[in-house]
Amino acid sequence: MGEFELIRNFFAAAPCAQTGEGVVLGIGDDCALLAVPPGEQLAISTDTLVVGVHFPEACDPFLLGQRALAVAASDLAAMGATPLAFTLALTLPDVDPDWLQAFAHGLNLMAQSCSLSLVGGDTTRGPLSLTMTVFGRVPAGQALTRSGARPGDLLCVGGPLGDAAGALPLVLNQRSAEASIAHALLAQYWSPQPQLALGLALRGKATAALDISDGLLADCGHIALASGVRVVVDRDALPLSAPLTTFLGLEAARNAALSGGDDYVLAFTLPASQLAGLLAAGFSVHVVGRVVAGQGVALIDGAGQDVTPSTRGYQHFRETP
């Protein structure tokens, strides 16, 4: 099967590849054409997933298709952007029709869930890797960024933390768990749900935001640096799921929430006056800390003592001691 036949058979005919709102021209030409309404800006983000780094070689292609797009779409949520479209650059060691069919099915379901249209990409031969570029739109001047946090703001997250990191031993077949626990944790790893509605609701309310991909402490460090403030995280306020604490125990569950990564839950700073409105609207918002004058990130316990760990999250290319 050649490259163009592969594209036609598994991607171009998928429901998510049909022209939708904001997509003037999709798959089939040298470029896609997107239409952004007057007064709005284009939000763009790219994520690459590589076999052996971001997912194991022996994984379900259906779940991989879901996860690959969800990870990228989460960046749109973090900016408060309305989803428009995405491209896929797919590198394959060989053409396996069954693998491709399952992958395309998972990809399509996540695309439709996120209201994203597949508008192009590329295929090539090599070690398995996936690169997603997502496009969204946001009213000019209303994008959520990392640089607006102010002393006095609350630090909030959009849901429980640590489940995906807790699932990693299950993904790698290093441990087993009761079926109900394994299902709950693995669902958060393989099918994270980008918090797009929350991102839209935070426009004009949150002062800074991002999605948690490398661990709460590491990602809060990005907000602290960009905003020129100090972010204080309350260890005892972390929202932890029952499956996670049952599987790992409280201390390990906290570590997964703080430094494990792969949550794809929004973390944001918010004036206290804005919290009640978000809760009344039904959003799962948890206050996990505060913003103060200074710099960096600190973790405190219930007594207010600094218990900041030396390892704060995942980084590519970090040198080993």
Report the pLDDT value the prediction gives residue 313, as an integer from 0 to 100. 57
Determine the average pLDDT of the residues in 19-41: 88
Residue type, 304: G
Q: Residue 256 pLDDT more than 50?
A: yes
For every residue of 121-133, DSSP letters joined together read EEEEESS-EEEEE
289/55: higher pLDDT = 289
CB contact at 8 A, 189 and 164: yes
Determine the average pLDDT of the residues in 261-265: 94
315/245: higher pLDDT = 245
What are the structure tokens assigned to 122, written together?
């590329």
Q: What is the DSSP letter of 259?
A: I
pTM: predicted TM-score of the whole model, two decimal places: 0.91
286/315: higher pLDDT = 286
183/12: higher pLDDT = 183
| pLDDT tens-digit map of 70-105 | 999 999 999 999 999 999 999 999 989 999 999 999
- CATH number, domain 3-139, options 3.40.50.11810, 3.40.50.880, 3.30.1330.10, 3.30.830.10: 3.30.1330.10
Coil, helix or strand at residue 14: coil
Q: Where are the domains of the chain?
A: 3-139, 154-300
Q: Residue 318 pLDDT more than 60?
A: no
**Cα separation, 127 vs 172, whole angstroms:** 19
Write the class of the CATH domain 154-300.
alpha beta
Q: How many CB atoms lie within 10 A of CB 140?
A: 9
| pLDDT tens-digit map of 132-182 | 999 999 999 999 999 999 999 999 999 999 999 999 999 989 999 999 999
Contact residues for 102 (Cβ-Cβ < 8 A; gap 6+): 60, 61, 62, 65
